[in-house]
Amino acid sequence: MRRRDVIAGLGGAAIWPMAGRSQTRGQRRLGILLVYGETHPDSPVIVETLRDNLQRAGWVWGENLAVDLQYGDGDTERMRRQTDAMLARRPDLVLAQGIVGATVLQRATATTPVVFMMLQDPVGAGFVSSLAHPGGNLTGFTNFDFGFVGKWLQLLKELSPGVDRALALINPDYPARLAGYAAELARIGPDLGIDARIAGVHDAAEIERAITGFAREPRGGLIALPDAVTGIHGPRIIALAASCRLPAVYAYEAQVRLGGLAAYTTSVAQDVQRAAGYIDRILRGAVVCDLPVQAAERFLTVVNLKTAAALNLTIAPSLMAKVDHLIE
pLDDT digits 0-9 by tens, 309-320 = 999 999 999 999
133, with CB counted inside 10 A (0-12, 13-18, 19+), is middle
Q: Which pLDDT value is given to residue 26?
A: 74
Identical fold for domains 3-143+268-295 and 148-266+299-327, yes or no, is yes
DSSP label of 162:
T
* pLDDT score recorded for residue 254: 95
Bridge partners for 327 per DSSP? 304
Can you name the residues that pair with 221 across neighbouring β-strands? Answer: 166
pLDDT at site 25: 59
Measured between alpha carbons, how far is residue 45 from residues 10, 40, 49, 214, 327 in Å? 22, 10, 6, 34, 18
Cβ(300)–Cβ(324) under 8 Å? Answer: yes
Estimate to the nearest angstrom the gap between the alpha carbon of 64 and the chain centroid. Answer: 28
Instruction: Output phi, psi for 188, to 5 deg.
Output: -90, -35
Alpha-carbon span 244 to 246, nearest angstrom: 6
Query: If DSSP codes are grouped into helix, strand and coil, which group holds residue 110?
Result: coil
Give which of 189, 169, 152, 161 is closest to 263, Cα–Cα: 152
User: Which residues fall within 8 angstroms of residue 83, CB to CB, at 6 or more apart?
Assistant: 33, 70, 94, 104, 105, 108
Q: What distance in Å separates the CA atoms of residue 298 and residue 266, rounded to the nearest whole number? A: 6
**Residue 196 CB neighbour total at 10 angstroms:** 26
The residue extents of the domains of the chain are: 3-143+268-295, 148-266+299-327
More confidently predicted of 303 and 298:
303
- Asked if 129 contacts 136 with a C-beta cutoff of 8 angstroms, the reply is yes
CATH 3.40.50.2300 assigned to domain 3-143+268-295? The reply is yes
The string of pLDDT tens digits covering residues 169-187 is: 999 999 999 999 999 999 9
The enclosing H or E element of 231 equals helix 228-232
* Fold of domain 148-266+299-327: Rossmann fold (3.40.50)
How far is CA 148 from each of CA 218, 243, 280, 295, rounded to the nearest angstrom?
25, 27, 30, 13
Q: Which of 181, 187, 219 is nearest to 200 (CA)?
A: 181
Look at residue 223 in the predicted model and tell me its pLDDT.
98
Q: Can you tell me the distance from the alpha carbon of 251 to that of 266, in angstroms, rounded to the nearest whole number?
A: 8
Does residue 93 contact residue 119 with C-beta atoms inside 8 Å? no
Query: What's residue 2's pLDDT?
Result: 33
**Helices 148-159, 175-188: crossing angle, 10 deg rounding:** 50
3-class state of residue 39 by DSSP: coil
Identify the CA nearest to 102 among candidates 297, 275, 236, 254. 275
The lowest-confidence range among 24-33, 158-167, 256-265 is 24-33
Taking all residues of the chain, what is their mean pLDDT, rounded to a whole number? 92
Whether the pLDDT of residue 43 is over 70: the answer is yes
Averaged pLDDT for residues 213-230 = 96
Give per-residue pLDDT as tens, 123-135.
Answer: 999 999 999 999 9
In this predicted structure, the answer to whether residue 24 has a pLDDT above a threshold of 70 is no
pLDDT at position 14: 57
Q: Which of helix, strand or coil describes residue 170?
A: strand
Q: What is the percentage of the chain residues whose pLDDT exceeds 90?
A: 91
pLDDT at 297: 86
What's the pLDDT score for residue 4?
A: 29
33, with CB counted inside 10 A (0-12, 13-18, 19+), is buried
pLDDT (mean) for 48-66: 97
All residues at 6 or more sequence positions from 117 whose CB lies less than 8 Å from its CB, including other chains: 95, 96, 97, 98, 140, 141, 143, 271, 272, 274, 275
